[in-house]
Structures are given as C-alpha cells and as structure tokens.
C-alpha cells in the first residue's frame, strides 16, 4: 500500500493517527448499525478489529515489520480486545454467546461448526508442529547488540581518551572555546527533508568561501566523509551507499533517531576509530565490517567527520546535563 505515503519525519504519529482514525470509523459504523437494529455481534466485532490491526501492520507499514514485533503487537492488541469485550458483564456474555452456542451445538449449523472445529483445530496444531520441525534454510536469528557499552578509555594514535569527559576539539564557537549550544544552532534543519538554515550565510553554509571556525570544520569533515565513508553510509548518511547491500547487516543509518542521535559524540569517535574489529565482547556477534579508521585517518580527521555526521543529519550528540 505504498500509494498512500508515509511522510518522513511524521511517520510514527501518522501510524498511530491512522489506527486511531480507523478504530473511530469502526466505532461510528457500529453505532450507526446498532441504531438501525443491525449491530455487529460483539464476537465478530472483536475478531474483526484484531484481524484489521494485523493486516494494517503487515500491509500498510513499509518497510515490512519483522515478525517478532508483529507478534508482540498482535498479542497486545489481542489482550486489549479481550479487555474491551469483557469489560462489563453484559458485553462478556454477548461475546461468549457464539462460542458457547457452538460448544453446546444448539442447532444443526452449530453442531456442524463444532464438528468442523474438532477436526480443524487438531489439524492446524499438527500442521504447525510439523512445519516447525521442517528443516529451514534461513540464517538463524541473531540478537545483535547494536550499541555495546564503550570502554572507559580508548587509545588512538598513542593518545588515551577518557570517553566520559573528552570533548570534540572542533566543536567550538567563534572564540575557539568548546560550545555545544553554539554549534547546535548551526546544524541543518530537520523538517520536510534536511535543509541549511541559510544557504547564503557563511555561518550556516559550510561550502561558503567565507565559512570559518566550526562551520569550516564541518566542511572538512564532509570532505573526509565523501572520500571515505559515503561508499557504505551513503550520500544522505542513511546507510544506503553504493556498497551497502554487499554487507549483512547493511551499514548504520545515521538519519535514524536510534543511531548517532542517541549516542555521545565520544561513542561515535570510539566506534569510528576502532571499527568492527574493535567491538567489545558485548558486541557479539560482532557483525560489522567497518574498518578501524584510526589506521587511515588522523585523530583530528575522525573528530571532524563525526561532527559532519551530526551536522548533516540535524541531530545533536547526546550530552549529560
């Protein structure tokens, strides 16, 4: 259902709003049918809403949601529907009635349903058991730790950096002092796409010939990025570079709120310096082919490229208040 667009930047709220809207429509339709004396039985209303939610999650949201998450959502929505249909005694009785009718076999039709259920349910369970024992050629699931805890210190080019306190030397204001608020005010804007605040202002456009200080260092970081990193992490820093799909998993998407946006700058410095090979034991199964960039870049170049990544994505590095 990709014709109805999920708008970047608004997707999470869009999903909730769409679900809320459709539930509201159901409620209104049900109300209208009830008024007309054709109300949907509670049992079918509950089952229908649950099936709708599963179909919505499977076919409306793209890229596809992994099964584990759909299973969680399915269970929670199932519990919610149970709470709704059994919230009051009257509703619970109404919900149970078709099930009890079938179990009691109150008519020929219900007896037929009961017989069918007695055949279908064991067969379905047997089928499930059989298929779960069939050999699978899929790679096994790996619970990968995406953000393993960094060490307290890291040594790069002979210098020891204490990750909890060290600061990016290029994140400075016009006086050359470390100033995150100053630099935060100069990153691109996150709106419908990512845009510089003022392309004609050397304070905001790193490629302006008059750009100085922080914004100039961003440009230098960008040059390093496009010489070394964009092949995998992509022109838009979204992990969709030319070589991205040669790897499994594909490279990190920096534009996602769950990657660099929630990490300290020093964490990124450490990961860039040490690469996949430098992941700690906690980072099992060490599924990262990123080279240890300390073998190719200087300390200054690493700091600058990290700063560029934050600037370009419009995110702020995490800090401690």
Partner 1 sequence: MGRLKSRQAGKKFLAVTGLFAMGVMLLLPIFVALPALAGGAPAAGGPPPDVVAAQEAEGVEGEEVKVEIGRDVYYKTEGPAVGAPAPKTADTEEFYPRYNFESRVLLWVANQQHLYYGSFVLAVPIFCMCIEFAGLVSKDKAMAKKYDQLAYDFVKISLTAYSLTAILGGILIFTFLTLYPAFFGYLSSIFRPVMHIYALMFVAESGTLYIYYYGWDKMKDGLLKWLHCSMSVVLNVIGTVLMFLANSWIGFMMSPAGVDEQGRYLGNIWHVIHTALWNPLNVHRILGNMAFGGGVVAAYAAYRFLSAKNDEERAHFDWMGYIAMSLGVAFLIPLPFAGYWLMREVYAYRQQMGITLMGGLLAWLFIIQATMIGILFLTTNYYLWQALGRMTGGERFQRYIKYFVFILVVGLLVFITPHTIVMTPAELKAMGGQQHPVLGNYGVMSAKNGGINAIIMTTIASFIWYQRGNRVPAVKWAKFGNIFLITFFVVAHLNNIWVACYGYFIPANVRIGLSVPQVAGTLSCLFFGSALNLAMLSKSRELGPIRWGQIAPRSQYALIMLATAFTWMMGLMGYIRSSVRLFWHVNEIMRDNSPWAYTHTIGFGANVISFNVLFFWITILFVFWLGALGAKKAPVPATQPVPGAAPQPATGH
Among residues 29, 51, 99, 149, the one that binds partner 1 under rule CB under 8 A? 149
3-class DSSP assignment, residue 172 = strand
Residue 8 CB: number of other CB atoms within 10 A?
12
For position 146 contacting partner 1 by CB under 8 A, the verdict is yes
For position 4 contacting partner 1 by CB under 8 A, the verdict is no
Dihedral pair phi/psi, residue 138, rounded to 5°: -75, 150
Nearer to partner 1, 250 or 299 (CB): 250
Per CB under 8 A, the segment of 137-145, 170-178, 218-226, 293-301 that binds partner 1 is 137-145
3-class DSSP assignment, residue 195 = strand
Among residues 98, 148, 202, 291, the one that binds partner 1 under rule CB under 8 A? 148
Among residues 188, 252, 305, 307, the one that binds partner 1 under rule CB under 8 A? 252
Nearer to partner 1, 47 or 113 (CB): 47
Q: Give helix 89-104 / helix 108-133 axis angle, nearest 10°.
A: 90
Question: Minimal distance in Å, beta carbon 264 to partner 1?
Answer: 7
For position 107 contacting partner 1 by CB under 8 A, the verdict is no
For position 69 contacting partner 1 by CB under 8 A, the verdict is yes
Half-sphere exposure of 177 (CA within 13 A, CB side): 4
Question: Minimal distance in Å, beta carbon 210 to partner 1?
Answer: 27
For position 29 contacting partner 1 by CB under 8 A, the verdict is no
Among residues 84, 182, 243, 286, the one that binds partner 1 under rule CB under 8 A? 84
């Amino acid at each position: 259902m990709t014709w109805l667009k999920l708008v970047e930047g608004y997707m999470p709220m869009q999903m909730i709003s769409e679900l809320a809207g459709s539930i509201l429509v159901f409620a209104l339709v049900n109300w209208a049918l009830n008024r007309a004396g054709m109300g949907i039985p509670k049992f079918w209303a509950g089952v229908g809403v649950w099936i709708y939610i599963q179909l919505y999650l499977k076919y409306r949201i793209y890229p596809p949601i992994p099964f584990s998450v759909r299973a969680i959502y399915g269970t929670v929505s199932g519990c919610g529907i149970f709470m709704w249909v059994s919230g009051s005694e009257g509703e619970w009785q109404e919900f149970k009635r078709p099930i009890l009718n079938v179990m009691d076999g109150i008519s020929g039709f219900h007896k037929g349903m009961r017989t069918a259920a007695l055949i279908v349910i064991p067969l379905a369970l047997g089928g499930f058991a059989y298929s779960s024992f069939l050999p699978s050629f899929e790679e096994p699931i790996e619970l990968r730790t995406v953000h393993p805890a960094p060490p307290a210190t890291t040594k790069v080019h002979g210098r020891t950096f204490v990750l909890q306190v060290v600061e990016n030397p290029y994140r400075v204001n016009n006086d050359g002092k470390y100033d995150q608020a100053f630099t935060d005010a100069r990153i691109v804007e996150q709106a419908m796409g990512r845009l510089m605040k003022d392309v004609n202002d050397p304070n905001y456009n790193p490629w302006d010939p008059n750009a100085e200080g922080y914004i100039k260092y961003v440009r230098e970081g960008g040059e390093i990025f496009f010489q070394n990193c964009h092949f995998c992490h992509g022109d838009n820093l979204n992990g969709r570079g030319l070589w991205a799909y040669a790897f499994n998993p594909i490279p990190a998407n920096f534009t996602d709120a769950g990657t660099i946006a929630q990490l300290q700058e020093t964490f990124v410095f450490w990961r860039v310096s040490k690469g996949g090979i430098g992941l700690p034991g906690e980072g099992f199964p060490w599924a990262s082919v990123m080279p240890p960039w300390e073998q190719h870049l200087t300390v200054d170049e690493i700091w600058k490229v990290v700063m560029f990544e934050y600037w370009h994505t419009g995110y702020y590095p995490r800090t401690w208040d």
